A and B are shown apart, each in its own frame.
Chain A
Amino acid sequence: MTAAPRPHPVPTGTSVRLTVNGQPADLVLDPRVTLLDALREHLQLTGSKKGCDHGQCGACTVMVNGRRINSCLSLAVMHDGDEVTTIEGIGTPDALDPMQEAFVSHDGFQCGYCTPGQICSAKAVLEEIRQGIPSHVTRDLEHVSFSDDELRERMSGNSCRCGAYANILAAIREVEERA
């Protein structure tokens, strides 16, 4: 015998402590608030963008504990104690991160809406290749190396509706070659 489901409850505030770009942030949130909305609406970090809000476009990509995720498909309350890095934590207007510099010099964007997600993802992709994490196009699963095909495959979760893909690829390649 299973009891009937309870009706939808009145949401209550749930405490969560995040570290965002090195700064502690203590929040009390409706559990429905996504990590993306917590960053944008509660912490006023509007660099991370809401595109599709369903994990398909990658505009919301941030780093959590050093790994890239779609912040729209995660609840903020699921990240108690986690370290979040957003585009605001990567370089400054006066001292750009090498990836930001490369996006500028290669015209890796037009409207710029997807760019924060592209840059977070691109930095993570280079790190994933360095760690030897394979991808769908890795020929030999036990030997992972940098190539344009690897970049195209690994960046497939970041859409750019302006179609700046060729220049995004060139920007990421330059950062890898300079490293």
Chain B
Amino acid sequence: MKPFTYERVSTAAAAAAAAAANPGAKFIAGGTNLLDLMKLEIEAPTHLIDVNATGLDKIEPTAEGGLRIGAMVRNTDLAADVRVRRDYPVLSRALLAGASGQLRNKATTSGNLLQRTRCPYFYDTNMPCNKRAPGSGCGAMDGISRQLAVIGGSDACIATHPGDMPVAMRVLDAVVETVDAAGKTRSIPMADFHTLPGDTPEVETVLKQGEFITAVTLPAPVGGRQIYHKVRDRASYAFALVSVAAIVQPDGTGRVAFGGLAHKPWRVEEAETEMPNGARAVTARALADADPTGDNAYKLSLAERTLALVLAEAKE
């Protein structure tokens, strides 16, 4: 690990101010991803701002009938919250499909949104990677890419977002709440929060330097059968090859987002009009622009079949 200085802050405003004052700083909450990357010197902040004591660890009802989830709410607590289990089960299921019990006890809501890719070329510092070292090239394109993106990638990067929770947040139309050093707040819909790699794959979200996530807000519950189905290389504790977060209403209409396919949770609202016509009709539209490699073309049929399974389960 590269040396860094360390401070604890007790308010969101102080966190944003500390980050604005120090361009080499990173926030640390659970730290389960950041410290992993710091040990490999893939992340090398010069200053860490510990935001665990900011008091943002509550889940509260909103005036609109939804829930406001504090940024520091741990994955375990969010998945187990009785309101989330009852009204947003796709979110509980997505959280429980991720990581291990130990990690979920530590990992936070905001940190989960900011997880970095598990692309093996991002992790291997002997290899080129435009995300880790902009301009160095991409080792994955002609390398082993079975885990990587099939849609929304660029000539610079075909990494995927590794998260499960964000896929459920996307299908639930969640909104990310932030504050900056000037005290200005911003509400960023999940649809806009994560970015595609383009020619700046090192940029993964629309957050500005020093902008601090305070909460994620869920709209009022929409009901329906809510299912999260994750396909992975082993039964537990592995990242998704493909995952499907779906909300299916009794008349067959609904919403669907995919994980494991792109640099962000993948949802194409126009494709959802095909939900009553079955999985093939939905994925034909949602994944129409796919550009897979030879290694990962299997993800297209896997996504369709996983959605077919989910739609069948929703009818039970």
A residues apposed to B, CB below 8 Å: 2-12, 14, 30-32, 34, 53-55, 58, 61, 67-70, 73-75, 77-78, 80, 121, 124-125, 128, 131-136, 138, 141-142, 152-154, 156-158
Contact = CB atoms under 8 A, between A and B. Distances in A.
B112 interface: no
A58 B102 contact: yes
Interface stretch (B43-51, B60-68, B193-201): B43-51
Contacts of A135: 96, 101
A74 B36 CA distance: 9
B2 interface: yes
Interface in B59-87: 76, 79-80, 82, 85-86
Contact of A70 (B6, B28, B32): B32
Contacts of B100: 55, 58, 156-158
22 contacts: A5-B23, A6-B46, A6-B47, A8-B2, A8-B4, A31-B4, A32-B1, A53-B39, A55-B103, A58-B102, A67-B76, A69-B106, A70-B102, A73-B36, A74-B35, A77-B6, A78-B52, A121-B101, A121-B102, A141-B89, A152-B236, A156-B101
A156 B103 CA distance: 11
Choose among B3, B99, B102 the residue with the greatest number of A CB atoms under 10 Å from its CB. Answer: B102
Contact of A8 (B3, B6, B80): B3
A155 to B, nearest CB: 8
Contacts of A5: 23-24, 46
Given A61-B102, A138-B96, A157-B101, 19 more contacts: A6-B46, A8-B3, A11-B5, A12-B5, A14-B6, A31-B4, A31-B6, A54-B39, A58-B102, A69-B105, A70-B102, A70-B106, A133-B80, A134-B85, A134-B92, A141-B85, A156-B235, A157-B100, A157-B102
Choose among A5, A7, A154 the residue with the greatest number of B CB atoms under 10 Å from its CB. Answer: A5
A10 B96 contact: no
B22 interface: yes
Nearest to B237: A156
The binding surface of chain B is classed by DSSP as: mixed
Nearest to B6: A31
B280 interface: no
The binding surface of chain A is classed by DSSP as: loop
B101 A128 contact: yes
Contacts of B115: none
Given A73-B36, A132-B80, A134-B92, A3 B31 contact: no
Choose among A6, A54, A75 the residue with the greatest number of B CB atoms under 10 Å from its CB. Answer: A75
A73 B35 contact: yes
Interface string B90-117: 0011001101111101100000000000
Nearest to A14: B6
A69 B105 CA distance: 6
A55 B4 contact: no
Contacts of B103: 55, 70, 73, 157
